[in-house]
C-alpha cells in the first residue's frame, strides 16, 4: 500500500493507471488487470479512496457537444493581496460553474481562470459582468484556445 509520502508499490500504481483510464471498471475487472483476487483488490481501492489519493470518479464530457464552443483563459491581477480579499475572490470563483479551473500564479498575473462559454458574445459578457465584479479585481486580460492539443486529468505515475 502507499505511504503518506506518495510512493506506491507496483500494485497501487497498476490500480491507479487502470482507474485513470477506466473509472467504471468493476472490482472483478480491476483484479484481473492487476493480477489480484477481488477481495484484496477491493481493499486496496478502498484504502486509496479513504487516504484521499482517489478523490472521485468522473465522466469526461465533450464541451463542444454540450454547447460550449469557446474555451478562454482569463489572467487577472488584484488591487490588494490581503488574505481577506484573496479569500473573498477565491470563494466567489468557486461558485461560478463556467470556471473550470482557477490557479493562483507566480509571475506577472495573480490568477488564471479557465472558462467555458457557448460563444464569444457570452464569454465577453461573462467577463464584463461576472469576472470584473469579483472582489479585488484590478486588471484582466484574456486569451482563447484556438485548438486543444491535449486535455487529460490522468496524472503520470512513473516518477
Confidence of residue 47 (pLDDT cuts 50, 70, 90): very high
- Determine if the pTM surpasses 0.75: yes
| CATH 3.30.70.920, domain 64-144, yes or no | yes
Sequence ranges of the chain with CATH classification 3.30.70.920 = 64-144
CA distance 45 to 34: 12
Mean pLDDT of 31-37: 95
Topology annotation, domain 10-50? Arc Repressor Mutant, subunit A (1.10.10)
Give the pLDDT of residue 7.
Answer: 72
Sequence ranges of the chain with CATH classification 1.10.10.10 = 10-50
Mean pLDDT of 82-100: 97
CA distance 25 to 47: 17
In sequence order, what are the beta bridge partners of 142? 74
Amino acid at each position: 500500500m502507499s505511504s503518506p509520502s506518495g510512493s506506491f508499490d507496483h500494485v497501487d500504481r497498476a490500480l491507479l493507471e487502470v482507474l485513470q483510464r477506466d473509472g467504471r471498471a468493476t472490482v472483478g475487472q480491476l483484479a484481473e488487470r492487476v493480477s489480484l483476487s477481488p477481495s484484496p483488490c477491493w481493499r486496496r481501492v478502498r484504502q486509496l479512496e479513504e487516504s484521499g489519493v482517489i478523490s472521485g470518479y468522473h465522466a469526461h464530457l465533450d464541451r463542444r457537444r454540450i454547447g460550449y464552443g469557446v474555451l478562454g483563459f482569463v489572467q487577472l491581477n488584484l488591487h490588494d493581496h490581503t488574505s481577506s480579499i484573496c479569500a473573498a475572490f477565491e470563494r466567489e470563483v468557486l461558485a461560478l460553474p463556467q470556471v473550470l479551473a482557477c490557479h493562483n500564479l507566480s509571475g506577472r498575473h495573480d490568477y488564471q481562470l479557465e472558462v467555458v462559454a457557448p460563444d464569444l458574445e457570452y464569454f465577453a459578457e461573462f467577463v464584463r459582468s461576472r469576472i470584473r465584479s469579483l472582489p479585488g479585481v484590478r486588471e484582466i486580460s484574456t486569451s482563447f484556445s484556438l485548438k486543444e492539443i491535449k486535455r487529460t486529468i490522468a496524472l503520470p505515475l512513473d516518477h
